[in-house]
Structure 1
Amino acid sequence: MADRQRVSEVAVKNLAIASAMPSESYPSAKVVDRAASAGAVVALAGCLLLPFVEFRPNRIVDGRLLHLLQCAGVWGWVLLAVLLLSLGAALLPGRYRGRGLLAGAVLSFGALLFALGSATTKLMPAGDTPARVSIAGGAWIALVGIAMIWFQGNRVARSHKASAAAALTGTALLVAAWWFGGLSQLSLAVEYRAQADTFWQLTYSHVLLVLGGTLIATVIGIPLGIVAARSGFARAVAIPVVGIIQTIPSLALYGLLVIPLAALGLPTLGTVPALIALTLYALLPIVRNTFLGVSGVDASSIDAGLGMGMSRRQLLWRVEFPLALPLVLEGLRAALVLTIGIAAVMAIAGAQDLGTLIFLGWGSIAVDLVLLGAIPMVVLSIIADQGMRALESVVVSPGIRIPREEELSA
Structure 2
Amino acid sequence: MVQPNRKGAAVTETAAPLPSPPPGHEAARSDTQAVLWLAAVPMLAAAALPWVLLRPNRLAPGDYLRLPVSLIVLVVALALLPALIARWRRAAVWLPAGAALVAAFWLLGTQTAGALDAQTSIARASAASGFWLFLLGAGTATYGAGLAGQRSGGAARWLAWLWLPAIAALFLTGQLSSWSVLIEGRNEGPRWVQELAQHLRLVGSALGLAVVIGVPLAIWASGRERVAGAVLGLANAVQTVPSLALLGLLIAPLSALATAFPRLRELGISGIGVAPALTAMTLYALLPVVRNGVVALTGVPPGAVDAARGMGMTRAQRFWRVQLPLALPVWLTGIRQAAVLLVGVAAVAALIGAGGLGTYIFKGLQSAAADLILLGAVPAALLAIGLDAALRGLERLLGRRLGRA
1:304 is displaced (CA, Å) by 3.0
- CA gap of 1:39–1:218, structure 2 versus 1, over 3 A, is farther
Matched, 1:130 2:130: no
Cα distance in 1 between the residues matched to 2:40 and 2:119:
39
State the TM-score, normalized to the length of structure 1: 0.81
Which stretch of structure 1 is more off in the superposition, 247-256 or 171-180?
Answer: 171-180
Matched, 1:296 2:299: yes
1:190 aligns with 183
Deviations 1:188-235 (A, max 9, x none): 121111112111111111111111111111121122122221112321
Matched, 1:305 2:300: no
2:216 aligns with 223
Residue type of the alignment partner of 2:254: L
Matched, 1:322 2:315: no
Matched, 1:369 2:368: no
Cα distance in 2 between the residues matched to 1:331 and 1:393:
14
Cα distance in 2 between the residues matched to 1:340 and 1:30:
37
Q: 1:88 aligns with which of 72, 84, 90?
A: 84
1:51 aligns with 50
Residue type of the alignment partner of 1:170: L
SS in 1 for 2:28: coil
Cα distance in 2 between the residues matched to 1:229 and 1:294:
6
Residue type of the alignment partner of 2:190: D
1:101 is displaced (CA, Å) by 4.7
Deviations 1:48-90 (A, max 9, x none): 34332222222212222233446xx54x544443332222355
Q: 2:205 aligns with which of 206, 212, 218?
A: 212
- CA gap of 1:48–1:391, structure 2 versus 1, over 3 A, is same
SS in 2 for 1:30: helix
Deviations 1:245-277 (A, max 9, x none): 111111211122123322332222211211111
Residue type of the alignment partner of 2:396: S
1:379 aligns with 382
Structure 2 gap ranges (5+)? 1-20, 259-268
SS in 2 for 1:50: coil
Cα distance in 2 between the residues matched to 1:46 and 1:204:
39
SS in 2 for 1:31: helix
Q: 2:250 aligns with which of 254, 257, 273?
A: 257
Cα distance in 1 between the residues matched to 2:211 and 2:155:
32
Cα distance in 1 between the residues matched to 2:308 and 2:49:
63
1:277 aligns with 280
- CA gap of 1:346–1:161, structure 2 versus 1, over 3 A, is farther
Deviations 1:343-395 (A, max 9, x none): 11101110111111111112222111111111111111111111111112222
1:400 is displaced (CA, Å) by 6.0
Matched, 1:119 2:111: yes
1:345 aligns with 348
Residue type of the alignment partner of 1:62: P
- CA gap of 1:46–1:273, structure 2 versus 1, over 3 A, is farther
Q: 2:167 aligns with which of 153, 168, 173?
A: 173
1:63 aligns with 62
Cα distance in 2 between the residues matched to 1:328 and 1:358:
32
Cα distance in 2 between the residues matched to 1:226 and 1:25:
44
1:30 aligns with 29
2:4 aligns with none
Which stretch of structure 1 is more off in the superposition, 267-276 or 311-320?
Answer: 311-320
Cα distance in 2 between the residues matched to 1:36 and 1:136:
25
Cα distance in 1 between the residues matched to 2:293 and 2:26:
31
Judge conservation of contact 1:35–1:149 (CA < 8 Å) in 2. Answer: no
1:302 is displaced (CA, Å) by 2.8
Which stretch of structure 1 is more off in the superposition, 277-286 or 117-126?
Answer: 117-126
Judge conservation of contact 1:37–1:149 (CA < 8 Å) in 2. Answer: yes
Judge conservation of contact 2:149–2:160 (CA < 8 Å) in 1. Answer: no
Judge conservation of contact 2:292–2:334 (CA < 8 Å) in 1. Answer: yes
Residue type of the alignment partner of 1:194: N
Matched, 1:106 2:106: no
Residue type of the alignment partner of 2:377: A
- CA gap of 1:320–1:147, structure 2 versus 1, over 3 A, is farther
- CA gap of 1:305–1:148, structure 2 versus 1, over 3 A, is farther
Cα distance in 1 between the residues matched to 2:169 and 2:180:
17
- How many residue pairs end up in the alignment? 372
Cα distance in 1 between the residues matched to 2:401 and 2:154:
16
Which stretch of structure 1 is more off in the superposition, 28-37 or 268-277?
Answer: 28-37
Residue type of the alignment partner of 1:81: A
Residue type of the alignment partner of 2:80: L
Residue type of the alignment partner of 1:138: G
- Higher Cα radius of gyration: 2
1:234 aligns with 227
CA RMSD of aligned residues (A): 2.9
Deviations 1:80-136 (A, max 9, x none): 43332222355466xx54xx4544443222100111112112222325343221111
Residue type of the alignment partner of 1:85: L
Residue type of the alignment partner of 1:211: G
- CA gap of 1:163–1:68, structure 2 versus 1, over 3 A, is farther
Residue type of the alignment partner of 2:116: M
